[in-house]
């Protein structure tokens, strides 16, 4: 099987590179039949999610157990995983796997410890302004399950949360048919000092974290990737809680030129395609020679890959190669697409880094395979998809904190700024605002005592 080659950039824009909102992707007959079987009637995914959210909010744990049985075929004796199971899983997994998890956690921690997240106060003759950075009290992390398990996702979300100073971390992940979570997920939770682990998946997990139940703690923010129902649920609960983003299927966009190794380009595309039949493996290059050689390498590599059926479905549905007139045009086209992962497999890639404007993450040079970033480089692999890299960022420390603004004018500052404030208040029709400001002019306040100033500075 080979990727389709687009010689016309405009044609590629209108097809391969055209963005379709995740909730407008047509559902499959299998999905529609599953909805009818579970709910007894045809429903859109949006309506399925709304029903689950309402049901969990009303019936709590009873609804969670009901949906675990009906949707996942998973009987839940205990919704929260006992701490002893985390301890046992950590001891039971292969030491080589345990070491790999530790390496990943160390790399992620070291990266995020470098991220600036400080409070500050700026003092002038007029007083002071500033910001107080406070960690969120409790966050909920979703770790997908099903056909694949993602202990790496636990690390990529829980470690930045810990670095940010979050007080309490909750993880939800779907249980298997036996009602149990994967030992790898549990070991990752133990390593990251997760406080509570719940054997819950799908929209019902999002509902439980958003609203709370008898067993599940309500959180302040929900983060992490998931399937269509998880993403739709995150969108519907936003406002009751905060969310990080609405991540859809993964994307890899490789910008490469004649200097690139065709086998490396092919390997990077296939690595992302194996995630999901909806994944998008795309190459943009000014070299027809490279495009054809990459297709040859894809056919060779495919023969020995275990998830070949998924890869071929991804390539047929969302994959392709676009030919451009130059590397600069290729990067411009990549910026328009705003991919989750942008790989620069070009001559002297560092010289082109400043041209990258829109990407969840950029992988510079052939040595740094995108797959390495999924596990051990340091930055989180939870990144914006669907073109949202135009305005959003990969998960980071700032996702786990809030900023409280500090206002501290003294009398000199009040006298300097009050006239403008009164004018604006009256222009907007808010006379009580204007009067409150005039009172400060008419009745000057004494300056703060040194001890009070010290307390303010300490805050």
Two tokens, residue 173:
């992940």
3-state secondary structure 355-403: HCCCCCEEEECCCCCHHHHCCCCCCCCCCCCCCHHHCCCCCCHHHHEEE
Q: Which residues of 188-201 are buried (b: 16+ CB within 10 A; e: fewer)?
A: bbbbbebebbbbbb
Where helices occur in 113-201 by DSSP H, the ranges are 151-164, 183-191
Active-site pick, 196, 341, 370, 381:
341
Any catalytic annotation for residue 214?
no
Residues near 365 by beta carbon (within 8 Å), at least 6 away in sequence: 344, 345, 349, 350
Any catalytic annotation for residue 340?
yes
Question: Are 51 and 202 in contact, with CB atoms under 8 Å apart?
Answer: no
Report the distance separating Cα 238 and Cα 225, nearest Å: 15
Report the distance separating Cα 333 and Cα 338, nearest Å: 9
Burial of 347 (0-12, 13-18, 19+ CB in 10 A): middle
Active-site pick, 85, 251, 274, 340:
340
- Please identify which residue in the block is written with the tokens 């009751």: 240
Residues near 406 by beta carbon (within 8 Å), at least 6 away in sequence: 121, 128, 129, 130, 131, 132, 459
**For the chain, counts of helices (H) and of strands (E):** 18, 14
- DSSP-assigned letter for residue 77: S
CA distances from 444 to 129, 209, 369, 423, 441 (A): 20, 49, 64, 20, 6
Two tokens, residue 376:
């051990």
- Please identify which residue in the block is written with the tokens 């603004």: 405
Report the distance separating Cα 425 and Cα 127, nearest Å: 22
Q: Within 13 Å, how many C-alpha atoms sit on residue 2's CB side?
A: 11
Q: How far is CA 370 from the centre of its chain?
A: 16
Task: Kindly list the catalytic residues.
Answer: 340-341
């Amino acid at each position: 099987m080979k990727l389709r080659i687009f010689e016309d950039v405009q044609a590629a824009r209108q097809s391969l590179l055209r963005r379709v909102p995740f909730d407008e992707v047509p559902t499959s007959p299998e999905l529609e039949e599953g909805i009818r079987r579970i709910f007894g009637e045809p429903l859109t995914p949006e309506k399925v999610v709304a029903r689950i959210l309402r049901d969990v909010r009303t019936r709590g744990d009873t609804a969670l157990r009901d949906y675990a049985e009906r949707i996942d075929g998973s009987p839940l004796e205990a919704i929260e995983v006992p701490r002893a199971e985390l301890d046992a899983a950590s001891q039971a997994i292969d030491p080589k796997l345990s070491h790999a998890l530790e390496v990943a956690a160390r790399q992620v921690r070291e990266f995020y410890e470098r991220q600036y997240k400080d409070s500050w106060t700026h003092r002038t003759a007029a007083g002071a302004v500033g910001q107080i950075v406070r960690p969120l009290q409790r966050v909920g992390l979703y770790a997908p399950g099903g056909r694949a398990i993602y202990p790496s996702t636990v690390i990529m979300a829980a470690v930045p949360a810990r670095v940010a100073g979050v007080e309490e971390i909750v993880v939800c992940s779907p249980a298997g048919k036996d009602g149990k979570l994967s030992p790898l997920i549990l070991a990752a939770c133990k390593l990251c000092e997760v406080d509570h682990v719940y054997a819950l998946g799908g929209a019902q997990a999002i509902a439980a974290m958003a609203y709370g139940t008898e067993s599940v703690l309500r959180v302040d923010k929900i983060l992490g990737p998931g399937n269509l129902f998880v993403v739709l649920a995150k969108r519907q609960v936003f406002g009751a809680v905060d969310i990080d983003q609405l991540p859809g299927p993964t994307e890899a966009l490789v910008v490469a030129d004649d200097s690139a190794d065709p086998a490396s380009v092919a390997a990077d595309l296939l690595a992302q395609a194996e995630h999901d039949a909806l994944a998008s493996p795309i190459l943009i290059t000014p070299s027809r020679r490279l495009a054809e050689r990459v297709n040859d390498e894809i056919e060779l590599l495919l023969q020995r890959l275990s998830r070949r059926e998924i890869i071929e479905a991804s390539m047929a549905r969302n994959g392709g190669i676009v030919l451009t007139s130059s590397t600069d045009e290729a990067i411009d086209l990549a910026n328009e697409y705003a991919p989750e992962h942008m790989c620069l497999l070009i001559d002297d890639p560092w010289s082109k880094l400043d041209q990258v404007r829109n990407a969840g993450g950029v992988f510079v040079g052939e040595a740094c395979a995108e797959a390495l970033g999924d596990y051990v480089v340091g930055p989180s692999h939870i990144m914006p998809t669907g073109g949202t890299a135009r305005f959003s960022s990969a998960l980071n420390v700032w996702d786990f904190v809030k900023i409280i603004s500090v206002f501290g004018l003294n009398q000199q500052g009040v006298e300097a700024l009050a006239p403008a404030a009164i004018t604006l208040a009256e222009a907007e029709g808010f006379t009580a605002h204007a009067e409150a400001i005039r009172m400060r002019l008419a009745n000057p306040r004494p300056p703060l005592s040194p001890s009070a100033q010290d307390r303010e500075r300490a805050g």
